[in-house]
């Protein structure tokens, strides 16, 4: 760092990047007092320097040449908010190898390549900050890194995607179907034009991979996270859930078993009404962490959007600047044990909710219950309601069982001649 200033190269000036640049350019005095040094935006890598961005950027700052940041010896830290896997990963690795500190909001890169980048940063004696990669404006990484460092993390549960939480809330409260609720979320600015990454659970899986890796000291790749989206949920499921005492959420769940193995999964779940995560509404995010010393901890806030994400990014820059100014090494105390195994979903034990459309005649329930018994799945509750003169809706919740057995039960029931369809299959917490 030169001349008591931190010289910053910014990659990306979209929704988040514009907010970061605006804060760096127009709150310089405030940031200097908080950081202890001047925070100077030196260069910003963009696709189009002529595009209007709603803020005034000094001449010579914008560039389309990555080398102007990554190979510039005057730049101390590279801040990446462009998103995506490549070329962002390559840019970050290149910056680290050039001896530059890194701040990133990139969940895809940190989920897929985070451990490797952190280890490389340790070798190069630079820092990697990534608070904004998981919870947007929620202070998650710093919580794992500092506040919970003395704990053995036992379980992480999170409502970590604001789009799906908003969509499920509208389906639950207004009776909308999935298509209608997604369209409303898009109109409100909570969903992208292509909502697949959110609705399909991909975004939540990336974020859970990061949290599980950091929380459990394991290398959890997104491909190891079991994933189901919310595409199969219908408005009627919310009515049955409410009758049974549950809310429906897309849950990111990771836990450590007694032998050190971990499970990591993202899927819709029925949460008891009284659970803290059941009360998370709209586009908000929340993370529920259990540590052996501290017990349960709940962190909640806005998990996406330009302003909350920029809050975490700029906060990381300030923290980094303070460490450099005070000549304090703030290397993240993250270690990743390659021997920690991520369990397959077949090994996981869970409870389930089945909603079936069945023939309304004697012997139907006996056939269905026989399948449950043969698979070793115990029924906890059952509801049967007529839907017309010849068919009925049958809803079952189970006691804990191997998830593989639950899925086999679903498949076998669907093949019975007295069952028209298993319309819904959800896990129960």
Active site (catalytic) residues: 207
- Burial (0-12, 13-18, 19+ Cβ within 10 Å), 199: buried
CB 165 within 8 A of CB 176: no
Among 181, 158, 173, 174, residue whose Cα is nearest residue 266: 158
What string of H, E and C letters represents the secondary structure of the chain?
CECCEEEEEEECCCHHHHHHHHHHHHCHHHHHHHHCCEEEEEEEECCCCCCCCCCCCCCCCEECCCHHHHCCCCCCEEEECCCCCCCHHHHHHHHHHCCCEEEECCHHHHHHHHHHHHHHHHHHCCCEECCHHHHCCCCCHHHHHHHCCCCCEEEEEEECCHHHHHHHHHHHHHCCCHHHHHHHHHHHCCCCCCCHHHHCCHHHHHHHHHHHHHHHCECCCHHHCEECCCCCCCHHHHHHHHHHCEEEEEEEEEEECCCCCEEEEEEEEEEECCCHHHHCCCCEEEEEEEECCCEEEEEEEECCCHHHHHHHHHHHHHHHHHHHHCCCCCCCCCCCECCCCECCHHHCEEEEEEEEEEECCCCHHHHHHHHHHHCCCCEEEEEEEECCCCEEEEEEEECCEEHHHHHHHHHHHHHCCCEEEEEEEEEEC
Other CB atoms closer than 10 Å to residue 86's CB: what's the count? 9
């Amino acid at each position: 760092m030169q001349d008591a200033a931190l010289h910053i190269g910014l990659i990306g000036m979209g929704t988040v990047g514009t907010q970061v640049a605006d804060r760096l350019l127009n709150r310089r005095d405030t940031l200097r007092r908080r950081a202890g040094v001047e925070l100077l935006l030196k260069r910003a890598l963009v696709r189009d320097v002529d595009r209007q961005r709603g803020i005034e950027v000094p001449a010579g700052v914008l560039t389309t040449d990555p080398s102007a940041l990554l190979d510039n010896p005057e730049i101390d830290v590279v801040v990446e908010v462009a998103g995506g896997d490549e070329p962002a990963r390559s840019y970050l690795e290149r910056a680290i190898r050039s001896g530059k500190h890194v701040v990133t909001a990139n969940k895809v890169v940190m989920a897929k390549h985070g451990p490797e980048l952190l280890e490389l940063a340790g070798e190069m004696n630079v820092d990697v900050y990534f608070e904004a990669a998981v919870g947007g404006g929620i202070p998650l990484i710093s919580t794992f890194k500092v506040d919970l460092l003395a704990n053995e993390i036992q379980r992480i549960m999170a409502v970590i995607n604001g789009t799906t939480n908003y969509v499920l809330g509208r389906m639950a409260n207004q009776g909308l179907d999935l298509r209608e609720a997604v369209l409303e979320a898009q109109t409100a600015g909570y969903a992208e034009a292509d909502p697949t990454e959110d609705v399909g659970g991909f975004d939540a899986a990336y974020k859970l991979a990061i949290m599980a890796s950091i929380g459990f000291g394991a290398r959890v790749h997104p491909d190891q996270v079991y994933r189901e989206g919310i595409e199969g949920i219908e408005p009627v499921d919310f009515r049955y859930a409410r009758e049974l005492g549950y809310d429906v959420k897309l849950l990111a769940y990771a836990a450590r078993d007694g032998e050190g193995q971990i499970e990591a999964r993202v899927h819709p779940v029925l949460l008891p009404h009284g659970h803290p995560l059941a009360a998370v509404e709209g586009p908000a995010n929340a993370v529920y962490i259990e540590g052996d010393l501290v017990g349960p901890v709940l962190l909640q806030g806005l998990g996406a959007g330009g302003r909350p994400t920029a809050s975490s990014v700029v906060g990381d820059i300030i923290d980094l600047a303070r460490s450099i100014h005070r000549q304090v090494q703030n290397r993240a105390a993250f270690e990743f044990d390659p021997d920690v195994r991520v369990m397959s979903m077949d090994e996981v034990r869970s409870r389930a909710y089945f909603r079936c459309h069945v023939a309304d005649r004697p012997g139907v329930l006996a056939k269905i219950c026989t399948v449950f018994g043969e698979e070793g799945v115990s029924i906890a509750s059952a509801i049967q309601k007529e839907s017309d003169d010849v068919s009925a809706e049958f809803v079952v919740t189970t006691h804990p069982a191997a998830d593989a057995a639950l899925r086999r039960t679903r498949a076998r029931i669907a093949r019975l001649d007295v069952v028209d369809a298993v319309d819904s299959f959800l896990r129960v917490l």
